[in-house]
Amino acid sequence: MTPETPELDQLLTTAAAAADPAGGFGWLDEHGARTPGKVPETWIGARMTHVFGLAAAWGRPGAAELAEHGRRALTGLLHDDAHGGWWSDAHGTGPKQAYVHAFVVLAGATLSRVGLPGGTDLLHDALAVWDEHFWDDDAGAAVEEWDAAWTTCADYRGANANMHGVEAHLAAADALASRGDHDRAARLRRRCVRTAERVVGEARARDWRLPEHFDAAWVPQLQYNRDSPADPFRPFGVTVGHQFEWARLVAQLGTVVDLPAELATAPAELYRVAVERGGAPDGHPGFVYTLDWDDRPVVAARMHWVVAEALAAAAVLGAVTGEPGYAADHDHWSNLVELLVRDPRTGNWHHELTPEGQVGHTTWTGQPDAYHVAQALLLPRIPISSSVAESVVRAVS
């Protein structure tokens, strides 16, 4: 029997309200209600499917039905039947994005690993699209974006989509291995090592300041989006939350492969500099969204997902290393969440706060995303492995 998790249960109750009767998951506002007229987006739908897949394995009533609601949208409403792959939203618009497809892979992997119907088929379909269109074996990383018909690939390359590609591939490898396909699982994990070496290697070369943006030759574009620094997916400068997220993912990768020596030191270093440079650099509590290349705050807003990833990284690194400092950090940031970030009305977290602790709207509106919070709540309660789904299955077995 899984432990009582009232914070997770309240979060899931609110997240369930995002289910759109027409298909997919809508955008929740600050009151936990679906925003009228806002079309369901595929990245939100895939994340919600993943979250409810985890919740179903965790034994939460109604979660399996919500995961199936998400799966049906991913195989129907949100899927491009003409060209293959997935649209950006339910209107069938936008380019074909690696970021979106990484979460479809993750959703399929989670449903497959926890044993929900149709998960394995979705996983195989999503991996086939990734292999054909996004994975660049010469680069050891994924390209970013195609037009709808897969005829033109954008020159931009991004660390964000590749980071979530690593997360998705780790989950996919666990799902495949659980069904006896150990060779393919090993290949996917080798991809993760190559991608991490490329991206994290760029951070190491800059005293652990992680570049996010690259051109087609993988040359860092350090001034990218300087005029749009608060972009939700491609902000200028160093994204503090991604330092934590890469730290966690590389540590999880190290539970299933022998990491190269230089990569093995990365989790502790990425975590350290995120804490030292991103934590309260302006004198206010919490982590800023972004820093410039001299470690000065650019966007000082406090994003919910950043502290969620700080908590997740502390949980994973603490379990993997046994070092007590990570647990102390986790306790401190958990108190901060209760004081400032968690919304007691919805159980979700305020997605953006000003440095002074007021609800902000510069980058995010509402509370549409349960993914970061759900994982941050689960990771301290489950054995650490290479994916959250694998860990949940082990915890309940």
Per-residue pLDDT at 1:
62
By residue count, the chain amounts to 397
What is the biggest distance separating any 2 CA atoms in the chain, rounded to whole angstroms? 53
Mean pLDDT computed over 30-49: 96
Answer yes or no: are the C-beta atoms of 195 and 162 closer than 8 Å. yes
Per-residue pLDDT at 59:
97
Spell out the alpha helix ranges (H) of 215-365.
Answer: 240-253, 261-264, 266-278, 304-321, 324-336
Pick the catalytic residue: 79, 242, 304, 351? 242
Where does residue 230 rank: exposed (0-12), middle (13-18), buried (19+ CB within 10 A)? middle
Predicted structure pTM score:
0.98
pLDDT tens for each residue of 345-369: 999 999 999 999 999 999 999 999 9
pLDDT tens for each residue of 109-135: 999 999 999 999 999 999 999 999 999
pLDDT at 174 over 90: yes
Pick the catalytic residue: 304, 330, 351, 372? 372
Answer yes or no: are the C-beta atoms of 274 and 310 closer than 8 Å. yes
CATH 3.40.50.1000 assigned to domain 6-396? The reply is no
Confidence of residue 94 (pLDDT cuts 50, 70, 90): confident
Q: Is 323 left (phi over 0), alpha (psi -120 to 50) or beta?
A: beta
Per-residue pLDDT at 162:
98
DSSP 117-158: TTHHHHHHHHHHHIIIIIEETTTTEE--EE-TTS--B-S-EE
Confidence of residue 3 (pLDDT cuts 50, 70, 90): confident
Tell me whether residue 242 is one of the annotated catalytic residues: yes
Closest CA to 308 of 364, 205, 378: 378
Answer yes or no: are the C-beta atoms of 63 and 52 closer than 8 Å. yes
Closest CA to 149 of 76, 82, 74, 101: 82
pLDDT tens for each residue of 203-242: 999 999 999 999 999 999 999 999 999 999 999 999 999 9
Closest CA to 47 of 103, 126, 88: 103
pLDDT at 102 over 90: yes
Among 35-39, 85-89, 345-349, which stretch is predicted with the lowest mean pLDDT? Answer: 35-39
Tell me whether residue 91 is one of the annotated catalytic residues: no
pLDDT at 247 over 80: yes
